[in-house]
Chains A and B, each alone.
Chain A
């Protein structure tokens, strides 16, 4: 399968979205210039890479990954660094849109400051979200032209599904006209495996697994998204056979801990099977038994993601 130009990383809260997005962006940046963007202004993925907001351009977030620059608020500048950090906000996208349709700057500026402004968004719920997704379409289009990649540290599954589904709503609200054409372009973008792919982070836990499988169903069946992979994060090696655990009868707490380990490993096997059965590509990331997730752990995740997702993938379509 070809590698999509833009990879949208989502998953249940706490499954390691931002960490996976950060590690994946580093893996991609080793191949091609890559944009790592978040949609909530928190810059969590950038922070995980140890990048401080406002840091000087050319800072390195890994020995071989250089950050181009950091520009809060807009994603329109493209530069030479291997890894570009960006933040997209609904407000900025909406402002750009209002400025586009109200050419008189004095009025548009006033408009943006006023409370009445809320009406525009209230009148068309989902407009901000739609403009964000449309921005992703533009980023992916640009990435294809310039042979780049983009990784999006997206919101948690529930919000991400709302976000991705909003083009449908806009399309039904606006049966004709520019907005309708834009909505259809966005839907085509989401369904194009060369341009758009979703990576779902999953923990080997019941709730996370169930939510990921349900989300994958919605992404594919309702939103027509073709490229969906699951990253099974925190997979514990089994370490103990059940026979070994039986021999630990007198060991109390140690036995309980060994059982915990084995149960976690068994659930990971089950989770992998269920994800595959749901038709997903699965890449496993081993549990990091470390007191903190530092450069070494990120490098290991990055390597595992490169091996699982990038190697063997056909070069992306230009």
Chain B
């Protein structure tokens, strides 16, 4: 394990933060790193909640988390040397249940609530529409922040199709429910004037063409959907504004998770650029699954083993040195495309999936700055 370098210390950087958001492309180990960061911070003596989105079964085991339970569950930290005050809770996001709860909260009346929950378009939207999981992660996060006993929330995000899927979700949801657009489809035919009427006509033309093609009655469905949702716009707008404020709070910290692979560099750059365009800064870039340091070749010279085995060991070292060089190349490329001054931290490759809480704690302990 490398010693913590004085240049960047994650524990110190997180000292007064209330929220860590782990973002990154699919397959880099966001969930594992989120859990490790949460455990590391909890062991240091804070009350931490970690929300996972799509945890692997092994990770569920490691956290002893019941995936069917949507409430935060306590994770026992016994035997890990936790400081006083340490508390860790974990929960798994259930987007559908969160969405239904949201409707129940914002619906203007029980009748409107029932109408929406039974609506065909809503049912499709809540199950299938890309971005619903993102929006619901944000919504659940806001619910979690209500608990004043929690010191830090660590948020794992759904695998992103586009860099901003998650952070942008409230805005896109609002756009969908935008009152002006609602007006466009919801008002009486012919009541609109000017260019808006043109769009209205076009929208109707497309939907009625659809209906003719498919027999779907989409025009009617969409109108009733937007009418039902229209009453909830204000509630959604307030929530979205809260979410935006939370992300921009100086006590929030964004960790961009990636791996040291050439293909990831471009994706990571896109993430950072998209965040930058929103005026958000990356707090740290976490490079997951970094190979361990290699042994010195000199140790082979004096070893009491056969020359044949020595040759194989030398070749093995050469092979891994090539992979290390590839990693180093990717890290250099990553640094070159990232805004200057963003700290790089690395988590080691255990050589296997983390199986226990102790594995996750080990990752947390060995998170170190990359020079």
State the A residues within 8 Å of B (CB): 12-15, 18-19, 40, 42, 44, 47-48, 98, 101-102, 104, 107-108, 110-111, 114-120, 122-126, 155-156, 158-159, 162, 169, 173-180, 205-207, 210, 239-240, 244, 247-248, 250-254, 256-258, 260-261, 263, 287, 289-293
Q: How many positions in chain B have a CB within 8 Å of any CB in the partner chain?
A: 74
A252-B199 CB under 8 A given contacts A101-B206, A122-B121: no
- Knowing A173-B216, A247-B305, A248-B305, the reply to whether A107 touches B198 (Cβ < 8 A) is yes
Least CB distance from B55 to A in Å reads 11
Residue contact A174 to B216, C-beta cutoff 8 Å: yes
Enumerate chain A residues within 8 angstroms of B309, measured Cβ to Cβ: 244, 247-248
Q: A114-B202, A258-B316, A291-B322 are in contact. List 19 more A-B contacts (CB 8 A).
A: A42-B266, A102-B205, A104-B205, A107-B198, A116-B184, A116-B185, A116-B202, A119-B203, A122-B121, A122-B176, A122-B222, A123-B121, A156-B159, A158-B26, A174-B214, A177-B214, A205-B353, A239-B312, A251-B295
A-side contacts of B209, CB under 8 Å: 101-102
Is B187 at the interface (CB under 8 A from chain A)?
Answer: no
In angstroms, Cα B175 to Cα A159, docked, is 23
Q: Are A119 and B222 in contact (CB under 8 A)?
A: yes
| Contact partners of A290 in chain B: CB under 8 A | 322, 326
Chain B contacts for A48, CB-based, 8 A: 263
Closest residue of B by beta carbon distance from A169: B128
Min CB distance, B35 to chain A, in Å? 14
| Chain B residues whose CB sits within 8 angstroms of the CB of A118 once the complex forms | 175-176, 181
Instruction: Give the nearest-CB partner of B267 in chain A.
Output: A42
Chain B residues near A111 (CB-CB < 8 A): 199, 202-203, 205-206
**CB atoms of B323 and A124 under 8 A apart:** no
Q: Please measure, in the bound complex, the distance between the C-alpha atom of A174 and the C-alpha atom of B225, giving whole angstroms.
A: 18
Residues in B with CB closer than 8 Å to A169 are 124, 128
> When the two chains form their complex, are residues B295 and A110 in contact, meaning their CB atoms are under 8 A apart?
no
Please name 21 pairs of A and B residues whose Cβ atoms are closer than 8 Å in the assembled complex, sorted by A: A14-B26, A14-B27, A44-B266, A107-B205, A111-B205, A114-B199, A115-B178, A118-B175, A119-B203, A126-B128, A156-B26, A156-B27, A159-B161, A169-B124, A207-B58, A207-B353, A244-B312, A252-B295, A261-B316, A263-B352, A291-B326
Query: Hey, what's the 0/1 contact readout for B248-260 against A, CB within 8 Å counting as 1?
Result: 0000000000010
Residue of A nearest to B313 (CB): A254
Contact of B181 among A42, A119, A206, A261 (CB under 8 A): A119
Contact of B299 among A122, A173, A254 (CB under 8 A): A254
A176 to B215, CA, bound (A): 7
Q: Which residue of B125, B214, B295 contacts A178 across the interface (Cβ within 8 Å)?
A: B214
Tell whether B235 is near chain A: CB-to-CB under 8 Å: no
Name the distance in Å between A76's Cβ and chain B's nearest Cβ: 22
Nearest A-chain residue to B59, judged by Cβ: A207
Residue of chain A at shortest CB distance from B312: A239
Please determine whether B313 and A110 come into contact, CB atoms closer than 8 angstroms. no
Q: Counting CB contacts under 8 A, is B351 at the interface?
A: yes
A-contact bits for B283-308, CB 8 A (1 contact / 0 none): 00000000010111001100111000
Please provide the 4 A-B residue pairs with the shortest distance between their CB atoms, ordered closest to farther: A13-B27, A253-B295, A13-B26, A14-B27
Residue of A nearest to B320 (CB): A257
Q: Once the chains are docked, how many angstroms separate the CA of A254 from the CA of B259?
A: 24
Q: How many Å from the CB of B232 to the closest CB on chain A?
A: 15
Q: Which chain B residues border A162 with CB–CB below 8 Å?
A: 128, 130
Give the CA-CA distance A206 to B295 in the complex, in Å.
26
Provide the bound-state CA to CA distance between A248 and B120, in Å: 66
Interface string of B1-36 (1 = CB under 8 A from A): 000000000000000000000000111100000000
Pick from B262, B292, B322, B351: contact of A263, CB under 8 Å: B351
Tally the A-B contacts, defined by beta carbons under 8 Å.
204
Q: Is B41 an interface residue (CB 8 A)?
A: no
Q: Within 8 Å CB of A260, what residues of B? A: 320, 351
Q: How far is the CB of A53 from chain B (nearest CB, A)?
A: 13
Residue pair B198, A115 in contact (C-beta under 8 Å): no
Interface residues of B in 119-153 (CB under 8 A from A): 120-121, 124-125, 128-130
**Bound CA–CA A14/B265 (angstroms):** 12
B103 vs chain A, min Cβ distance (A): 16
Chain B residues closer than 8 Å to A261, beta-carbon distance: 316, 319-320
Q: Are A101 and B199 in touch, CB under 8 angstroms?
A: no
Complex partner residue of B129 from A122, A174, A239, CB under 8 angstroms: A122
- Is there a chain A Cβ closer than 8 Å to B280's Cβ? no
- CB <8 Å contact, B202 and A110: yes
In the bound complex, CA of A210 to CA of B353 (Å): 12
- On whether the beta carbons of B198 and A110 are closer than 8 Å, the reply is yes
Instruction: Contact check, B207 vs A123: say whether CB atoms are below 8 A apart.
Output: yes
Pair A14/B216 contact, Cβ less than 8 Å: no
The residue in chain B whose Cβ has the minimal distance to the Cβ of A205 is B353
Q: Mark B56-89, 1 if CB is under 8 A from A, else 0.
A: 1110000000000000000000000000000000
In the complex, A125→B132 CA distance in Å?
11
Which listed residue, B125, B198, B304, B320, touches A122 by the CB 8 Å rule? B125
Is the Cβ of B325 less than 8 Å from the Cβ of A179?
Answer: no
With A258-B316, A291-B322 as contacts: A177 and B213 at CB distance below 8 Å: yes
Which residues of B are found within 8 Å of A42, using beta-carbon distances? 266
Verify B319–A289 contact, CB threshold 8 A.
yes
Using known A-B contacts A13-B28, A14-B28, determine if residue A253 contacts B200 with beta carbons closer than 8 Å.
Answer: no
Residues B316-333 near A (CB distance < 8 A) = 316-320, 322-323, 325-326, 329
Task: Tell which of B161, B206, B322, B323 has the most Cβ of chain A within 10 Å.
Answer: B206
B168 within 8 A of A: no
A122 to B233, CA, bound (A): 16
Q: Which residues of A contact B221 (CB under 8 A)?
A: 123
| Smallest beta-carbon distance A248→chain B, Å | 7
B201 within 8 A of A: yes
- The reply to whether the CB of B218 lies closer than 8 angstroms to some CB of chain A is yes
